[in-house]
Structure 1
Amino acid sequence: MTGRQETVVHITTDEASGWEMALRNLQNLVRDRSVSTPPEEMSVVVNGPAVRFLLAGSPDAFKITKMAEAGVTISVCSNSLTRFDYDPEEIAEGATVVQSGIAEVVRAQQQGHHYLKLP
């Protein structure tokens, strides 16, 4: 682990309003200069029914790509993609498929990263 304190954001909601709130909270967090949360020190892990929001055809796919271009690491759970019958090849540009979203969250916590569950 490096000397910096990274932040992992965990999103599982199947509600569009919850997804939008999570994205707004992420933007607010990065913009707030009173807390050190540069995009390159942030990871977003998406699992459960929320994986649908990371599909290339979703209305917010461009936001995923934009976050990734800004330096945010975006991980989508392969197990959840399979469970909900989504093709891993159809995720938004910038997102990376990981074997287990929950394992990514646990791994980050074991490395001392800050954890936020949104929403």
Structure 2
Amino acid sequence: MNVLFHIDESSRWNMALGNIQNMIRYMEDQAIPYQIELVANGPAVCELQDSVSEKLGLKEPLCSLSPKIRICACRNALMGNHITPGRLLPFVDIVPAGVVEIAQRQDDGFSYIKP
């Protein structure tokens, strides 16, 4: 199963991470192969900064998920929020445009979830 999670609101991080953790647990318990991608755009890219994620208690869950899922930040949103790539958590991939990444993944057959 291929699933794309989309987050663009900073207030939705805990819900998104909880949804992803629950999905992974289910998939692994049922021995279902999966590929999960999380795309952050808009203001939600701010929480992918190392210092911000640590301050908000998001760093540990993001780090624990990073080997199992792909975590992406929209370059346009980073520029709009004046965030340089060096401030991001080291495992975050930067995509040129979050909306294009979302559309491409849906075209690839990923199910779209926006917590």
User: TM class, shorter-chain normalised?
Assistant: 0.7 to 0.9
Bigger fraction of residues in helix: 2
Give the corresponding residue for 1:14: 10
| Structure-2 change in CA distance of 1:44 and 1:35 (3 Å) | farther
SS in 2 for 1:45: strand
User: Which of 56, 59, 62 pairs up with 2:50?
Assistant: 56
SS in 2 for 1:63: helix
Report the TM-score, using the length of structure 2 for normalisation: 0.85
Amino acid at match of 2:21: Q
Query: 2:114 aligned with 1:117, yes or no?
Result: yes
Amino acid at match of 1:102: V
1:97-108 to 2 correspondences below 5 Å: 97-108=94-105
| Structure-2 change in CA distance of 1:56 and 1:47 (3 Å) | same
> Would you say how many aligned residue pairs link Structure 1 and Structure 2?
109
Give the corresponding residue for 1:74: 71
How many angstroms apart in 2 are the aligned matches of 1:88 and 1:61? 16
Aligned-residue identity in percent: 28
Give the corresponding residue for 1:31: 25
Report the TM-score, using the length of structure 1 for normalisation: 0.83
Coordinate RMSD, CA, aligned: 1.7
